[in-house]
Amino acid sequence: MSTTLENIQRQISENPILIYMKGTPQLPQCGFSAQTVQALMACGERFAFVNILDNPDIRTELPKYANWPTFPQLWVEGELVGGCDIVGEMHQNGELETLIKAAAARAKEQEEQGGNA
């Protein structure tokens, strides 16, 4: 059985765009998660999410792993982008969409290359 830390590392490595949030994209359970997921959805790309309210072990361990105390947390291609304030600011100045679209394009390219092997 894998540890919580191994699960977190696997989730981050397997999902090019991943948000750890309270609730789900359709039903966020906090204002910060709602704002962050709205900015992410505005980019128009698919993303994965983990509801930390359903995963108390991840809720406890991820802040230590990420060295980031709060939620939501947006991870893109294995790197922590940040939380609500950072994501909101990036959305306002157009950086978020650029980052998300580039990550989605690379993921799609890798998927296609993997599918042809």
Q: Is 57 annotated as a binding residue?
A: no
Q: Say whether 71 counts as a known binding-site residue.
A: yes
Average pLDDT, the chain: 95
What global pTM score does this model have? 0.94
User: Domain spanning 4-109: which superfamily?
Assistant: Glutaredoxin (3.40.30.10)
Query: Among 99, 84, 95, 110, which Cα is nearest to 14's?
Result: 110
Q: Is the peptide bond before 28 cis (omega within 30 degrees of 0)?
A: no
State mean pLDDT over 5-9: 96
Give the Cα separation of 87 and 94 in Å (integer). 10
Residue 10 in marked binding region: no
Q: How confident is the model at residue 62 (pLDDT cuts 50, 70, 90)?
A: very high
**Is 43 annotated as belonging to a binding site?**
no
